[in-house]
A = this chain, B = another copy of it.
Amino acid sequence: MISGKNSIGKKFSAKGTITYTTFNPELNEENTTVFTEATSSEINEAVALSSEAFKEFREVSGERKAAFLNTIADEILALDNLLIQTYCSETGLPEGRAKGERARTVGQLRSFANLVAEGSWVEATIDVAQPNREPMPKPDIRKMLIPLGPVVVFGASNFPLAYSTAGGDTAAALAAGCPVIVKSHPMHAGTGELVASAIIIAAQKTGMPNGVFSNLNSSGIEVGQQLVSHPDVKAVGFTGSIKGGRALLDLASKREEPIPVFAEMGSINPVVILPKALENRNEAIAKIYASSITLGTGQFCTNPGLLLGVKSDALSSFINNLSQEIMEMNPSCMLHPNIKNGYVNNKEKVISQANVSVTANFTSEVENNYAEQTIVSVSGEEFLANPTLHLEVFGPFSMVVQCNNLSELETVISKLEGQLTGTVISDDNEVSDYPAIIAALQNRVGRIIFNGVPTGVEVCESMVHGGPYPASTDSRFTAVGINSIKRWVRPFSYQDWPNNLLPKELQDENPLGVFRIKDGIRSK
Verify if A138 is at the interface (C-beta below 8 Å from B): yes
Chain B hits for A462, CB < 8 A: 125-127, 141-143, 493
Q: Answer whether residue A207 sits at the interface, using C-beta atoms and an 8 A cutoff.
A: no
- Does A348 belong to the interface (CB within 8 Å)? no
Contacts of A493 in B (CB 8 A): 446-448, 462-464
Q: Which of A41-49, A183-191, A291-299, A449-457 contacts B (4 or more CB under 8 A)?
A: A449-457
Cβ of B258 and Cβ of A449 under 8 Å apart? no
A78 to chain B, nearest CB (A): 23
Residues B253 and A249 in contact, CB atoms below 8 Å apart: yes
Within 8 Å by CB of A492, from B418, B439, B446, B515, lies B446
A411 contacts partner chain B, Cβ-Cβ < 8 Å: no
Q: Decide yes or no whether A30 CB sits under 8 A from chain B.
A: no
Neighbour of A55 across the interface among B438, B439, B501, B522, CB < 8 A: B439
Task: Give CA–CA (A522, B447) in the complex, Å.
Answer: 22
Which residues from B are CB-within-8-Å of A475? 148, 490
Name A141's contact: one of B257, B442, B460, B492 (CB within 8 Å).
Answer: B460
- Contacting residue for A461 out of B125, B138, B490, B494, CB 8 A: B125
A367 CB within 8 Å of chain B: no
Chain B residues closer than 8 Å to A250, beta-carbon distance:
253
Could you tell me if B139 and A452 are in contact, using CB atoms closer than 8 angstroms? yes
Contacts A461-B517, A464-B143 given; does A473 touch B126 at CB 8 Å: no
Q: Say yes or no for A486: interface residue by CB 8 A criterion.
A: yes
Asked whether B418 lies within 8 Å of A450 as measured between CB atoms, the reply is no
CB distance from A126 to the nearest CB of B (A): 6
CB distance from A242 to the nearest CB of B (A): 11
Given contacts A143-B463, A491-B464, A493-B447, contact A469 B432 (CB under 8 A): no
Query: Does A474 count as interface, using CB distance less than 8 angstroms?
Result: yes
Shortest CB distance A358–B (Å): 30
Complex contacts, A442 vs chain B, CB 8 Å: 146, 492
Residues of chain B lying within 8 A (CB to CB) of residue A448: 492-495, 497
B486 touches A449 (CB 8 A): no
Interface hits, A144-192 → B, CB 8 Å: 146, 148-149
Distance (Å) between the CB of A491 and the closest chain B CB? Answer: 5
User: Across the interface, do A449 and B522 meet the contact criterion of CB distance under 8 Å?
Assistant: no
A50 to chain B, nearest CB (A): 14
Interface string of A108-150 (1 = CB under 8 A from B): 0000000000000000011100000000101101110010110
Residues on B with C-beta less than 8 A from A474 are: 260
Q: Which residues of B contact A489 (CB under 8 A)?
A: 476
List residues of chain B with CB within 8 A of the CB of A446.
Answer: 490-493
Query: Is residue A478 contacting chain B, with contact meaning CB distance below 8 A?
Result: yes
CA–CA, A475 to B260, complex, Å? 9
Q: Which residue in chain B gives the minimum CB-CB distance to A111?
A: B520
7 closest Cβ pairs, A-B complex: A253-B253, A447-B493, A464-B493, A141-B462, A143-B462, A475-B490, A449-B495
Q: List 30 A-B contacts (CB under 8 A).
A: A125-B461, A127-B462, A127-B463, A138-B458, A141-B462, A142-B462, A143-B461, A249-B253, A253-B253, A257-B418, A432-B498, A442-B492, A446-B493, A448-B492, A448-B494, A448-B497, A450-B494, A450-B497, A451-B496, A452-B495, A452-B496, A458-B495, A462-B493, A463-B493, A464-B492, A464-B493, A475-B490, A476-B487, A476-B491, A515-B522
A residues apposed to B, CB below 8 Å: 55, 59, 125-127, 136, 138-139, 141-143, 146, 148-149, 249-250, 253, 257-260, 418, 431-432, 438-439, 442-443, 446-452, 456, 458, 460-464, 466-470, 473-478, 483, 486-487, 489-498, 500-501, 515, 517, 520, 522
Known pairs A141-B462, A464-B490. 9 more at Cβ < 8 A?
A125-B483, A127-B460, A127-B463, A143-B463, A143-B464, A257-B468, A452-B496, A462-B493, A467-B490
